[in-house]
Structure 1
Amino acid sequence: MARPKSVEELFDREEIYDILINYARGADRADIDLIAAAYHDDAIEDHGGTFHGPASEYVALISKVLPTAPRMSHIVTNINIELDGEKAYTECYFLTFSRRDQIDDPFDSLTMARVIDRFERRDGAWKIAHRRLAWDWNHEMPLLESWGRGGIAPDPSKLTRGAKKPDDILYGDWLRGDGPATQKGEIE
């Protein structure tokens, strides 16, 4: 990344970065509002051969899929942001872990994709105007979850697990100080 020329440029980069990170959060938690907020109303989504068309149609499609989709985690990395006036061009890597455990032959999947976005600032807000995704690789393996062979959690049934909106801990009242953060007997 080139040295920012102004504080405004730092703010622009941070706003774009937040959109990319919140998009991943939206996918993992099935928080469709976060995903929809990333796009301009007339944005195009090209999901690398699995979908091509208006982003609003893509959001409508995944709003039906994500709430019941298997557990997944999107890690966004190698984020490059090139600012050009009221436009910005980004490239970032999405490493996605997905657990497919609701089938007869359960497996874990690791997938790497690169996302290239054209952002535009309209009415003072940066959002995606056009997104293209390129699939780089995928690796699948049998499901084997032992939590460090018992070293992390001898009884995995007691673990607080990630979930979809609104059941994930991210959406609990405790976060704002309105409820308990831990249960009795938990390590704090």
Structure 2
Amino acid sequence: MSSAARIRALADKQAIHEQMCRYIQAVDRCDLELLKSTFHHDGTVIFGIFDGNAHAFCDYDIPFIKDNLIWAYHRIANVLIEFDSDTLARAESYMLGNAAAALPDGTRINCPDNMRYRDVWEKRDGVWKMRHRDLVMDWNGCWPYAGREDGEFAAYRIQGSRDRNDRVYQLGLVP
């Protein structure tokens, strides 16, 4: 592989990784348009809770999150990307998520999970987006929420928000 091809492959891997991060930002900030921007319009997902068109999934997922979760935070790790061509790639990434939800009686619960995403990425018009994403659930749990706001935790004044008022938008990191 030539130096130019290796540099292009690294740039493409970085572009895909950034899209993976935007997907996570979109879910945690409940940003529907950002979430849709990570998929091609004809993309698909197989998540079990929703199987079908990726944009229809986005239309389902963001309201579900807003209606059922108090907050959610996700991280990706162990990202492996392999190219099939200059415009097609396969990837696996690990996702560790954590969310708080309220039961009908008002009791709060903490719900961590560890999943893997299996993706097909396609570069169209110079932009990498997902053509397909599978979700593999490896484990999850649930226990009483024990969030703390006392002692030293009371000193943390900057709170995240689940919309475009979050400070990440002020940094200009989200288009």
What range is the shorter-chain TM-score in? 0.7 to 0.9
Give the equivalent residue in structure 1 for 2:121.
Answer: 119
The alpha-carbon deviation at position 5 of structure 1 amounts to 5.2
Q: What's the % identity of the aligned pairs?
A: 26
Instruction: Work out whether 1:53 is the aligned partner of 2:52.
Output: yes
Deviations 1:130-188, CA, capped at 9 Å, x for gaps: 110011101112111235x62x32x36x632211112322234xx46xxxxxxxxxxxx
Deviations 1:17-59, CA, capped at 9 Å, x for gaps: 0000110010000111221011111111111x11100112111
Q: Which has the larger radius of gyration?
A: 1
The alpha-carbon deviation at position 65 of structure 1 amounts to 2.6
The alpha-carbon deviation at position 102 of structure 1 amounts to 6.4
The alpha-carbon deviation at position 105 of structure 1 amounts to 2.3
Higher helix proportion (structure 1 or 2): 2
Q: Which has the higher contact order (CA 8 A, sep 6+)?
A: 2
The root-mean-square deviation of aligned C-alpha atoms, in Å, is 2.0
Give the equivalent residue in structure 1 for 2:100.
Answer: 99
Deviations 1:104-148, CA, capped at 9 Å, x for gaps: 22111110110000011112211111110011101112111235x
Distance 1:114 1:99 in 2: 20
Give the conservation status (yes or no) of the 8 Å contact 2:99–2:111.
Answer: yes
Distance 2:6 2:165 in 1: 41
Give the conservation status (yes or no) of the 8 Å contact 2:81–2:91.
Answer: yes
The count of aligned residue pairs is 166
Distance 1:64 1:141 in 2: 24
Distance 2:136 2:80 in 1: 16
Give the conservation status (yes or no) of the 8 Å contact 1:39–1:128.
Answer: yes
Instruction: Work out whether 1:161 is the aligned partner of 2:141.
Output: no
Give the TM-score of the pair, scaled to structure 2. Answer: 0.86
Describe the SS at the equivalent of 2:19.
helix
Describe the SS at the equivalent of 1:146.
coil
Of residues 117, 127, 130, the one that matches 1:128 is 130
Question: Gapped runs of 5+ residues in structure 2?
Answer: none
Distance 2:37 2:116 in 1: 20
Describe the SS at the equivalent of 1:6.
helix
Distance 1:63 1:107 in 2: 20
Describe the SS at the equivalent of 2:57.
helix
Question: Gapped runs of 5+ residues in structure 1?
Answer: 177-188
Give the conservation status (yes or no) of the 8 Å contact 2:73–2:98.
Answer: yes
Give the TM-score of the pair, scaled to structure 1. Answer: 0.80
